Chains A and B, each alone.
Chain A
Amino acid sequence: MAILSLTVNGKKHQVDVDPKTPVLWVLREHLNLTGTKYGCGIAQCGACTINLGDTAVRSCQLPVSSIADKAITTIEGLSEKGDHPLQQAWIEQDVAQCGYCQAGQIMSAAALLKTKPHPTDDDIDAAMSGNICRCGTYLRVKAAIKTAAKG
C-alpha cells in the first residue's frame, strides 16, 4: 500500500492503495466515481475509458501509480452540467439502450474530437472500435459523434 495523489476532473485526491491497482477500481471504489465502468478488465471493451490528457485510455489496464503526476478526466468531469457537445448530441440522438457502455463511448469520442474535430467515418470507426456496445447502438453513437462535430 502507498499513499498516492492523483488529479481527477481537476480535483486532487489522495488514496491509500496498492500502486498496481488499476485506475478503474480506484475511481469506482476509492473515489466513488462509478461512471467509469468495468466490462472486461483486459482492455477489450472500452467500458472503462477515461481521458489521460487528450488521449483515451482504458483505465482497467492502467496502474494508478502511472498517473500520479498526470491529470485524468472521467465522464463525471467531462462537463459541469452535462452540456459537453457530445453529451448533448448523445441525448439528441437518444443513443442509449441499457446505457452501460455509453460513458466509455463518450470518453473515447471526446478524445477523438480533441485530435480530430471533424472526423471521417473511417476515423470514427478506428477510434470507436475498441468500445463494445452489447445493445448494438453503434449507428447512433456514430451519428451523435457527427452531430457533436458539426455543432
Chain B
Amino acid sequence: MKQPKASASRRSFLKVSALAGGGMLLSFNFWAQAKPLPGQPLTDAKDWVELNGYIKIYPDNSIKIINPNPEFGQNVMTTLPMIVAEELDVDWQKVIVEMGPHDNVKLGPQFTGGSNSTRMYWKPLRDAGAAARNILVQAAAQTWNVPLEEVSTKQGMLYHEKSGRSGMYGDFALKASAIPLPKNPKLKDGRNFTIVRSAQKNVEGMKIVTGKPLFGLDYAHEGMLVAMIEHPPAFGKKLQSFDASEALKMPGIRDIFSLPLYPENYEQSGFDTRTFNDLLVVVGNTTWEVMNARKKLKVIWQPIESSNEIIAGFRGKTNVTIPAGLENTDEQLAKMAAFANQPAQLLRKDGDPETAFKNAAQIIEHTYTAPFLAHNCMEPVNCFAYVTDEKALLVAPHQAPGWIEPSLSKILNLSPDKIEIQIVRMGGGFGLKAYGHFLTEAAIISKKVNAPVKLVYSREDDMTYGIYRPMYTATYRAALDKDKNLLAFHVKGGGIPEHAVHQNRFPAGAVDNYLAEGWAIPTNITIGAFRAPGSNFNAAAEQSFLDELAEAMGKDPIDFRLELLQRAKEKPVGRNNEYDADRYMEVLKLVKEKAGWNDPANKKYSRGVAAYFCHSSYAAHVIDIVEKNGKPYIERVTSAVDCGIVVNPDAATNMVQGAVVDGIGNALYGGITHKDGVPGQNNFNRYRLIRMREAPERIDVHFVHNDIDPTGLGEPPFPPVFAAVANALYKKTGKRFYNQPFYKDIPNA
C-alpha cells in the first residue's frame, strides 16, 4: 500500500467521489501530503476503487461504513462506525460495517493499542460523517430548490417540511458526490446524540456465535502450506546445528531449513523484535503433521554471545545490550534487590526530600515485585503470507500493520505498494500483536518455499517466545512527622530490563517533597508492551503502598487519597503533573458512593480500594472478598471509570468487566519464571489463568457522565485492579501482599 510521506501534513481532509452504480464514496485522509483539497470531487469510478474511504451509500439507501482500525476485542468494529453513523444521521440498524483494508493514507494510523482507537478516530470520524451529511443536504436543497437551512435529516432521510418533500440519502448520493465538501462541517451538539451513548450490539456477534472464519488462524488459501518454527528452548541460546533426516521422513512434510529472520546489520525498528534470529523452520501440509515432525528434529543449541542492538524506535535510536547467559528467577530477584540499593537515575524531584526523610519521626518503606507475564492471547501468534518476487500478500492478525510494512519492504526488497496486508480480527492482542517478527517470519518463509504459507505458533511456542511484560520492582518510602503528617514521598523503581516509574503521576504534585528514581538491568529475555505498560505494575505497587500509608496515618484509604488530590488541585507541587485532580477525585467519590463504602451492610466484606490514571482516563475499583470453600473469594467488584463520552456503554462495560477479571487473574496467578533460561511455564497446565469459578459474581461498572471527548478505555481499568486485590486480601488475611502473583501467599489458593 501507499505510505504517507514523512513530510506529510498531519491535517486530515475529506474526499468524495461517485460510486459505480450511482452512489457516493466519502474518503478521508489523515496524512494528506499535498494541500488539503476539501471537496474536490472525483468522478472517475477508477479513482473510487482505489480510495477505500469510510462511507458508501447506494441508491437503495444501504449504507456501508468502514471500520479503519484493527479489532482485537475492544469492539472498534462497532464503536467506530457508530461515530460516523451518528454524524451522518442514519439508522444504525441499516448500516453494514466492513473491515477496511490496510491503507494508512486513506484510513489513518490503523493502530490498535495504547487505548487509542476511539480517542484518535473520534474527531476525524465525526468530521467524515458530518461532511457527508452536509453535502447530502446541499444536494437535496438544490434539487428541491429550497434554502439549505430548511432541509433536515433523520435516519438516512432528507426532509423539507414546508413543502412536505422527502427523500432517501440514496436518492441524492450521486448528486452529492459532485458537491465540494465543507472544510469544517458542523458537528452535532452532544445532547442530540442518538447512536453515540446508546448500547449497540457487536456487529460481528452473529458471526462469532456461529463460528464463522474471522480470525487469522482461520484463514485458508489455495495451495497453502503450514510452517512452524522450532525456537531455542532457552533464552540465551541459539541454533548451532540440526539433523532433520528423521523429521523429513514424517508424513506431510515438505521442507525443513534454517534461515535468519533479519539479515546481518539490519537496523531494527521499535516493533521488529527478534527474540531468536535463527529460524529453524518445518514446512508441511497440515499443522498436526508439522507438530509431529518437529518432535523428530535433532537440534544442537549453543550459548549466545553478548551483543548490542541498535533499535530505531519512535524516540530515535537506542542501544540495547543483550547479555549472554542463562537466567534464573531467583538470581533475577536477588539482582533486583541488590540494584535497589544502588544509586539510580533521577526522574523527578520536588522540594527537599532528603532533609524531610532525615527529619522524619517515622519512615514507612515497602518493596514490591512482579514477575514477567506472558500475554497468552487465546489465539496464538500466526500469520499467512504469500510472497513472490513481484508482490506480497499477508493476512495478519496484527495491531498495527503499518509499523511492520517498512520492515517487510526492506527485507523482501519490494516497494510498499507491492505489499498488501489484510487486517483480520485478532483473538486477543494485549500488546503482543503490535510486534512484527511473525509477519516477517511468515513472509520470508513463504518466499523461501515459494508458496502460500501459514505460520502457526503452538501454544508452547507462543508462551515461551518472550516479549513478556518486564519483571518489575519498586521501593516506596514515606516520611511522616510526629503528628503523622506526610512530609515526603519517594519511589525508586527498577526492572528487567526497564522500570515502570511514571514520575509525573499521582502522588507527584500532591506532596511537597517528592523523589522519583529508576534503574534497569539488561537481560536476554525479550519484553514488550502488555496491557497498560508500566502502569500495570506502577499502580499495583503505589496503590498498595498508599493503602498501607493511610493505615499508618490513621486515615480512611479513600479519604486519604481525596485529601492528597485536593492538595494537588489547590496547590499543585512541581510541574508536568499528568493527571487532572478533579477527574481523579470524581472516580474515587463515585466508587465510594456506588460501593456503599461506609454502609454497615457491607461489613461482611473484606474490602480493598485502588484508583489510577493512565491513557488519559481514570478508574477506581472496590473489591469485596468473602470466604468461600475455605479460601478468599472476590465476590463483588464496584468500578468507577471516567473515559469521557462513552460511545457504546454496554460494550464499554464489558471491556471494564474484562479488565477487572484480567487484573484479578494476573494479580493472583500470572507469571513466567526461568530456570537456566528456560521458561517454567509453556502451556495452561502450568500457567494459571483465571477461570469462571474464580471470577467475581458481580462487577458493577459506573461511568462518570461528562462531555469530554473520549479518552482511553481498554487499559485504564486494568492497573488499579492489582492493588485493590492486594488491599482487600490484606483485610481478609491480615497480611500485606507485596509480591505477585499473590496466590503463593494465600493458604489453599
A6 at interface (Cβ–Cβ under 8 A)? no
- Would you give the 0/1 interface string for A30-50, flagging 1 where the beta carbon is closer than 8 Å to chain B? 101111111111101101000
Q: Is B287 an interface residue (CB 8 A)?
A: yes
Give chain B interface residues in 211-234, CB to chain A under 8 Å: 211-215, 217-218, 220, 226
Q: Whole-angstrom distance between the alpha carbons of A133 and B287 in the complex? A: 23
- B206 near A98 (CB under 8 angstroms)? no
Given contacts A136-B659, A136-B661, A136-B665, contact A41 B458 (CB under 8 A): yes
Binding site for A on B (CB under 8 A): 72-75, 199, 201-202, 204-206, 208-215, 217-218, 220, 226, 251, 286-289, 291, 376-380, 425-430, 458-459, 650-651, 654-655, 657-662, 665, 683-685, 689-693, 695-699
Known pairs A29-B288, A97-B654; A1 contacts B691 (CB<8 A): no
Q: Is the CB of A40 within 8 A of B695?
A: no
Judging by beta carbons under 8 Å apart, are B657 and A132 in contact? Answer: no
- CB pair B693 A41 closer than 8 Å: no
Please determine whether B288 and A25 come into contact, CB atoms closer than 8 angstroms: yes
Cα distance A75–B458 when bound, in Å?
Answer: 22
Among B218, B291, B660, which residue has the most Cβ atoms of chain A within 10 A? Answer: B218
One of A30, A47, A99 near B204 (C-beta < 8 A): A99
A128 to B192, CA, bound (A): 43
B377 partner residues in chain A, CB cutoff 8 A: 98, 100, 134
B204 lies within 8 A of A137 (CB): no
Chain A 66-114 interface residues, beta-carbon cutoff 8 Å to B = 74-76, 78-79, 82, 86-87, 90-91, 94-103, 106
9 nearest A-B residue pairs (beta carbon): A35-B211, A100-B427, A136-B661, A98-B73, A75-B211, A97-B73, A136-B658, A44-B684, A99-B208
Residues 8-34 of chain A: 1 if any B CB is under 8 Å from the residue's CB, otherwise 0? 000000000010011001001110111
Question: Are B692 and A134 in contact, with the CB atoms below 8 A?
Answer: no
Given A45-B378, A125-B693, 17 more pairs with CB closer than 8 A: A18-B289, A21-B288, A34-B220, A76-B211, A91-B205, A91-B209, A94-B201, A96-B73, A97-B654, A100-B377, A100-B379, A100-B427, A133-B378, A136-B657, A136-B661, A137-B654, A137-B661
Asked whether, in the complex, the Cβ of B209 is within 8 Å of the Cβ of A90, the reply is: yes
Within 8 Å by CB of A82, from B210, B214, B425, B428, lies B210
Q: Can you pick out 8 interface pairs between chain A and chain B where the beta carbons lie within 8 Å of each other?
A: A34-B220, A39-B379, A82-B210, A94-B205, A96-B209, A132-B689, A137-B661, A138-B661
B residues less than 8 Å from A22 (CB atoms): 288
Q: Roughly how many angstroms separate A121 CA and B74 CA in the complex, as a whole number?
A: 28
Q: Does A98 lie within 8 Å of B72, measured CB to CB?
A: yes
Given the complex of chains A and B, what is the CA–CA distance between A134 and B690 in angstroms?
Answer: 8
> B654 — which chain A residues lie within 8 A by C-beta?
94-95, 97, 137, 140
Q: In whole angstroms, what is the CA distance A101 to B475 when docked?
A: 39
Verify A134–B210 contact, CB threshold 8 A: no
How far does the Cβ of A98 sit from chain B's closest Cβ, in whole Å? 3
- Do B212 and A35 have beta carbons less than 8 Å apart? yes
Contact A100 B211 (CB under 8 A): no
Which chain A residues have a beta carbon within 8 Å of chain B's beta carbons?
A: 1, 18, 21-22, 25, 28-30, 32-42, 44-45, 47, 74-76, 78-79, 82, 86-87, 90-91, 94-103, 106, 121, 124-126, 128-142
Question: Inside 8 A of A25's CB, which chain B residues have their CB?
Answer: 286-288
- B210 and A76 contacting across the interface, CB-CB below 8 Å: yes
Residues of B within 8 A of A90 (CB): 205, 208-209
Find the A residue at minimum CB distance from B224: A29
Q: Identify which of B218, B376, B428, B429 contacts A34 (C-beta below 8 A).
A: B218
Q: Are A98 and B426 neighbours in the complex by a CB distance under 8 Å?
A: yes
A121 to B251, CA, bound (A): 47
Given A36-B211, A42-B683: A94 in contact with B660 (beta carbons within 8 A)? no
In the bound complex, CA of A87 to CA of B75 (Å):
19
Complex Cα–Cα for A103 and B213 (A): 11
Establish whether residues A91 and B206, one from each chain, have CB atoms under 8 Å apart when the complex forms.
Answer: yes
Nearest-CB residue, chain B, relative to A36: B211
User: Which residues of the other chain, B, contact A97 by a CB distance below 8 angstroms?
Assistant: 73-75, 654-655, 658
Kindly list chain A residues whose C-beta atoms are within 8 Å of the C-beta of B684: 39-40, 42, 44-45, 132
- Do A135 and B695 have beta carbons less than 8 Å apart? no
User: Cβ of B209: which chain A residues have Cβ within 8 Å of it?
Assistant: 75, 82, 86-87, 90-91, 96, 102-103, 106
Q: Are B220 and A74 in contact (CB under 8 A)?
A: no
Chain A contacts for B427, CB-based, 8 A: 37, 98-101
Instruction: State the Cβ distance, A58 to closest chain B Cβ, in Å.
Output: 12
Nearest CB of chain A from residue B697's CB, rounded to whole Å: 8
Q: How far is the CB of B688 from chain A (nearest CB, A)?
A: 10
Contact with A101, one of B202, B378, B458, B697 (Cβ below 8 angstroms): B378
Min CB distance A126 to B, Å, is: 8
Residues of chain B contacted by A30 (CB below 8 angstroms): 286
Separation of A39 and B379 alpha carbons in the complex (Å): 6
CB-nearest residue of chain A relative to B199? A94
Contact present for A129 and B692 (CB under 8 Å): yes
A contact residues around B72 at 8 Å (CB): 98
Contacting B428 at CB < 8 Å: which of A94, A100, A124, A139? A100
The chain A residue with its CB closest to the CB of B693 is A125
